[in-house]
Chains A and B, each alone.
Chain A
Amino acid sequence: MQIQVYLSRAGAALLLGISLLAAPVGLAARADNQPLDARVPEDALQMTRKMICSLEDGKPIIHWWKGTMLSRVPGERDRVLFNVQGMNIRQCGTFSDPKKGPGFRSVSREVMLYLDPATDQVLRKWKNPWTGEELNVVHVANDPVNMRGPMFAHNDQGKAHEFGGMFVKDKVWTSGEAPLFYDNPMAGDYQDLVGNKYQAIEMLNSFTDAKWLLNRKQKTLPTVTISWARVSDWIPWMKMAGRPGLVVFTTVGKRVATIDELSEPLRSEIRNTYPLYLAPPPLDDARPNETSWTYIKKMVDAQRAAAK
């Protein structure tokens, strides 16, 4: 769900039906009882921040989702390979810059489990139907998944922050895609020449009620529903090497108040196996981001070193 880190795509708010953005412009609009005004960069930034986390520094925000992972191989019907259950736990901190104005940055940890599509049990082993090989399942456990730097009311070029959401009737949502194409950490040093780049697209929709988003006093949105999807290369632990095909994740979920509200077996698995993921990383976390690819590379490298 790294998409929220990338969601800076400029999107003009499309107004339909009753416009809730029709707030008076000017200083009066900044009063506590006035709704946030998307035309004011500082307000627009608060709206973006509320969709991602909370206006309250250090408040843990948990997003939960469940769905399926499917294969797509040319010439064969798509297969449901796994059910999945995932969660991201994050917090935001406030920043300030003399030129760029107020800002924020989110830091998070993320787990997603691959489950048996028939029983919903956590999979430990998986028999690859294309190669026949039995493999260890490596679940997603990415620590951290952070915004690289803070997002400010004005960017480096002085451009005002725009809230990329859409207001329709009494709802508001952000919808975006992050096409990812960069050097694959598990591939070689000449990828521009011989290929094997990391290629994926992450897609996320987040929905809430406009009255909550625009209410200046509502620091944390009471309900956010999400839909997350992803199309990418085979996951490295599947050991598909260069075979044609890709995987598609499709999920639905929402914000939940506490770890206790996660679905099973995700909740127990986090408590038993990934206790670090019960809380977000510290606000000043400066580590580089982890992805399934960097995580599995470390694991494979460690296994290779141990085998020597």
Chain B
Amino acid sequence: MNTKIKIVSGLSAVLAVMWIGQPLDALAARKSKPVDLSNPDELFKVQIKASCSTVSGKPTLYWWSGHMYSRVPGEKDTLLFNVHGMNTRRCEIKTDPKKGLCYRSVSREVMFYLDPVTNEVLRNWKNPWTGETVPVIQVANDPVNLQPTQRFFCARDEEGKPVTRDGMFVKDDVVLEGGGAARLFYKNPLAGDYQDYVGGTYHAMEFGSTAIPLASAQNANITEFSDSVISWGRVSRWIPWMKMGDREGLVIFHTAGMRLDNFGQLPDVVRREIETNYPQYREPPPLDDARPNETSWTVFKKYIDAKRAADGPAK
């Protein structure tokens, strides 16, 4: 850990505490020159402030809400659930003599499926295609970390050249990021050993965007943004607990959200569910967390394997 960064971070942490409930941004901004965002090192710092915080280990929180639809050929896309999600994350920050500022993130994530009429967390769901009532397995992924543990994102490469990140750009009075997608296509943990031959591969696309006010991005005293807004969407195969088997169709998620300052700002329905059933999700994992990541597919596999073991051999 570079000493200089430590000192800057410590000062910023003090400022961050002062800001709670006080509009001191303007005052703070006047004290220092606006950050030059054409400098790739500075833009990289903006990315860290949007993802987590430049203060190593400081917990941050994103929340989003929206809808999940079905897509079945020949049927109008149908609203199945309201969804509310939350990710709590912290980053280990370090500096490398060649690569500059580096970070690794660790996080926990929940997303709840809510009744689209009552907006209550669903415990059971009647599948309209199969007629079967199935237990709803909420998204609860612990951890969702940058893997492996020794992997850090850095501002520069081994030769000290800035790493090109075409995702983030300044437009007028905002910094925007998005318009791309993570194309996920890998071995499905719930499918068999011959997926290249018979199919069943995990197949999903995730897309998101972020918008940060330029004034915040240019403020050197801010260590993590509190006013960044996000969009998140996803197109994937049926969620395993829906028990759709090989039936044709997909699910589509579409949500909007933003950075929250603390757990208490979450909507009641989300906060209550976390406090009652997912208390460890109030905090991100420790910085040295070395566990493999969880996804809805791996979580469900553990659930169904445990259930099968308890129920005895399948009939």
Contact = CB atoms under 8 A, between A and B. Distances in A.
A201 B77 contact: yes
Contacts of A251: 178-179, 209
Interface in B224-280: 226-227, 229, 231, 233, 235, 250, 252, 254-258, 260-261, 265-267
A143 to B, nearest CB: 25
B256 A175 contact: yes
Contacts, number: 149
A248 to B, nearest CB: 6
B187 interface: no
Interface in A241-258: 246, 248, 250-254, 256-257
B78 A179 contact: yes
A251 B171 CA distance: 14
A53 B231 CA distance: 21
Interface stretch (A42-50, A65-73, A148-156, A278-286): A65-73
A173 B256 contact: yes
A252 B178 contact: yes
Given A205-B231, A250-B178, A252-B178, A223 B172 contact: yes
A227 interface: yes
Nearest to A195: B74
Interface stretch (A26-34, A163-171, A268-276): A163-171
B275 to A, nearest CB: 17
Contacts of A227: 178, 209, 231, 256
Contact of A250 (B171, B201, B233): B233
B179 A171 contact: no
Interface residues of A, number: 49
B222 to A, nearest CB: 15
A205 B257 CA distance: 10
B67 interface: yes
B134 interface: no
Given A170-B227, A201-B77, A254-B172, A177 B67 contact: yes
Nearest to B262: A17
Given A77-B185, A179-B69, A67 B179 contact: yes
Interface centre among B181, B199, B250 (most CB of A within 10 A): B181
B181 A205 contact: no
A23 interface: no
A169 B205 CA distance: 30
A237 interface: no
Contacts of B183: 70, 77-80
A251 B71 CA distance: 20
Nearest to B185: A77
B177 interface: yes
Nearest to A257: B172
Interface centre among B173, B209, B250 (most CB of A within 10 A): B209
A248 B235 contact: yes
Contacts of B66: 175
Interface of A: 14, 16-17, 65-68, 70, 72, 74-80, 166, 168-171, 173, 175, 177, 179, 181, 195, 197, 199, 201, 203, 205, 207, 222-223, 225, 227, 229, 231, 246, 248, 250-254, 256-257, 261
Given A251-B179, A257-B172, 20 more contacts: A17-B261, A67-B180, A78-B185, A78-B203, A80-B181, A175-B66, A175-B254, A179-B76, A179-B79, A181-B75, A199-B74, A201-B77, A222-B173, A223-B172, A223-B213, A225-B176, A246-B71, A248-B205, A254-B174, A261-B172
Interface of B: 65-67, 69, 71, 73-79, 171-174, 176-181, 183, 185, 199, 201, 203, 205, 207, 209, 211, 213, 226-227, 229, 231, 233, 235, 250, 252, 254-258, 260-261, 265-267
